Structure 1
Amino acid sequence: MSRELTIPAADTRLHGLDTPGGEPALLFLNGGFATQRHWKPVIRRLGGRHRTVTFDARARGKSGRSSDYSTRGAIDDIGRVIDAAGLTRPILVGWSHGATMGVRYATENPDRVGGLVLVDGAYPIRMFDEAGKERVRAQFKRLAWLMRIAALLGRSARMSPAETARAVIEMDALNGEFEADFAAMRCPVAFVVASGAHSGSTEEENARMRAAVARATAANELVTVYATAPSNHVQVIAKDAGLVAGAIEDVVKRAA
C-alpha cells in the first residue's frame, strides 16, 4: 500500500507518495509546472515491478509555496526526498525541468544515483540569448490568467509570471553547461526524445534543441537515446508512456 510523504524543504513542505515494489526504486521528477499525478500512465505501464516515489515540487500540486523556486532549491529537494524515503541509488526519471534537475543532482552526487531516464529534457544546449529571455518573460505575463486557473485545478504552479519565467531561464542556463556533466556521468542514461512541438518554441528551435542530444551521447558511452517518441513535449508521458517505461527498464538493466 502506498505511503504518503511529508518532506520539510527550507521554508515549505513537499508532498510525496511512496509505493512499494522491487528494487531499484524509481524517483520521478516532474515537468516544470506539472504534478506527480502526470506520471500515472507510466507507472501503470511498469505494473508494480519497481518501488516508485513521486512528489510535487514547491508550489505544485499538494506541496506548499516557497520564497525560493531556484534551480538550486529544486536540485537540493531531490536529495531531501531521497533521504525522507530512504532510497538507495534510485533511478531518476525526469521530464523536461525534472530531467535538468536530475542531471545536475546526479553529477553532484554520483554515488547516490543508479541511473537516469530523461524525457524530452536536459539537452546540452543553451537556447536563450537576452532577447530570448525577454520573450520568455513576456510569454508568462500573457499566460498568467490561464496559469492561475490551471493552478486552481491543480494542473500548474502557484507562482507569479516572474517566478515561472525565472525558473525556465535558470533551467536553460543549466542545460547549457551539460556537455561536461554528461562527459562526467558514471551511471547509465537514456533519453526519450519527443518529436512534436514544444510550447513557446519555433520548429527550427525545437529541431536545434533536440539535435543537441548528439552532444550528450558523443560525450559518454553510458548516455544513449532509447527512442524518439511521436508525441509532443506536453503529451509525451501520457501518449508514449510505453516508450518511457521501456526506457526505464533499459536503464534498470544497464544499472544492474
Structure 2
Amino acid sequence: MTKNNSSTTSTWSGMVPVDDTALFTTDTGGDGIPVIYLNGQFATQGYWAKVIADLGDGFRHITFDERARGKKSLKSADYSFEACVHDVDAVLAARGVEKAIVIGWSYGAFIAAHWASRNPERALGAVLVDGAEPSDWLDDAMEARIRKLFKRLAPITVLLRPTGLTPKLSPAQQAESNIELGKISRTEALGPVLDNITVQTRYVLASGASFGSRGDEQEKIRAAVGGVCERNPHIRLSAKVASNHDHILRKDFRAVADAVREVA
C-alpha cells in the first residue's frame, strides 16, 4: 500500500476491514484533494450528498458508515469514541491516502477535531460542522434524560433498523455513546484538543435547536466557539447559517462546501 495520496480513475465502494468489524466505504477517486467525511453519531454517509455535489470533481471524496451504522457496516465489540478516531486512519490507509482534509458534522466534528489535532502532518485542513464546541453540558440530570430518551425511542429505532436509517446499536449502547460524547465535550477535555490544532480549521454553525435539545441549550453550546477562535489563530468561524442542527447539511450545504474550499 502506497503511503502517498494514490488515486483511482472511478468511484470505488466496498467493505474496509478494521479490528473486529468492516465499514462500508465509498471513494470517488481522481486526482483532487482528498476529503474524508465523518458522520453524525447515528447518521450515514448519504447525509453528505449535497456537499459532495457542490464541491464536485476538484476533490476526491471518501465517505464511510461507522461501526453498526447504515445498511452494510458490521457490528463491533467497541463503539467508543477512540474506535471512531482509529477508523479514520483505517479507511485512509485502505484507500492509500496519507493526507486529507477532514470534515465532520455533529459527532463527526469531534472526531475531525481530534484527528486534526493528533495528525498535523497529515491533515490538510479541518471543517467542523455544528459540533466540537467545548461545553460542560453533561450532568447527572442530563445523563438520566439521555437514557430515558433512547429507551423511549427504542420501538422506532428497531423498526427502522433494516432501512439503515437507525444504527444496529441497542438503546443502552446509543445512550452510552451520547453520554461519552458529553464527557469528551467538557471544556477541560476538548479545549486542549482544539488549542493544539495547527492546520487551517473552519467552523460552520447552525442556529436553533437540535434533536433532543430544549430551548436555547444548543445556542449556549455554540457560544463557546468565539473563545476557541480567540485562542487559536488557525481556527475561524466560516459561517453561521439559518438551518438548525439536523438540517444543516441539506439546507446550507453551500456554506459547508465553501468552508472546505477555504481550508483547501
Give the TM-score of the pair, scaled to structure 2: 0.92
Match of 1:13 among 15, 18, 22: 22
Superposed CA deviations along residues 86-134 of structure 1, whole A, max 9, x for unmatched, are 1132001100011111111222222221111111111111311111111
Partner residue, 1:204: 216
Partner residue, 2:39: 30
Which one-letter code corresponds to 2:201 in the other structure?
A: V
Which one-letter code corresponds to 1:56 in the other structure?
A: D
Contact kept? 2:32, 2:57, Cα under 8 Å: no
User: Cα RMSD (Å) of the superposition?
Assistant: 1.2
Separation (CA, whole Å) in 2 of partners of 1:56 and 1:205: 28
Contact kept? 1:179, 1:219, Cα under 8 Å: no
Residue 132 of structure 2 is aligned to residue 131 of structure 1: no
Superposed CA deviations along residues 196-236 of structure 1, whole A, max 9, x for unmatched, are 31111122211211101112112201101100111111111
Shift >3 Å, 4+ stretches: none
Match of 2:230 among 218, 240, 247: 218
Consecutive unaligned residues in structure 2, runs of 5 or more: 1-9
Separation (CA, whole Å) in 1 of partners of 2:41 and 2:34: 22
Please give the secondary structure, in 1, of the residue aligned with 2:121: helix
> 5 Å matches for 1:51-200?
51-61=60-70, 62-176=72-186, 177-200=189-212
Contact kept? 1:95, 1:120, Cα under 8 Å: yes
Separation (CA, whole Å) in 2 of partners of 1:106 and 1:171: 18
Contact kept? 2:85, 2:115, Cα under 8 Å: yes
Please give the secondary structure, in 2, of the residue aligned with 1:51: strand
Consecutive unaligned residues in structure 1, runs of 5 or more: none
Aligned length: 252
Separation (CA, whole Å) in 1 of partners of 2:261 and 2:163: 33
Match of 1:229 among 233, 236, 241: 241
Identity of aligned residues (%): 37
Contact kept? 2:126, 2:263, Cα under 8 Å: yes
Separation (CA, whole Å) in 1 of partners of 2:203 and 2:159: 32
Please give the secondary structure, in 1, of the residue aligned with 2:229: helix
Separation (CA, whole Å) in 2 of partners of 1:9 and 1:128: 31
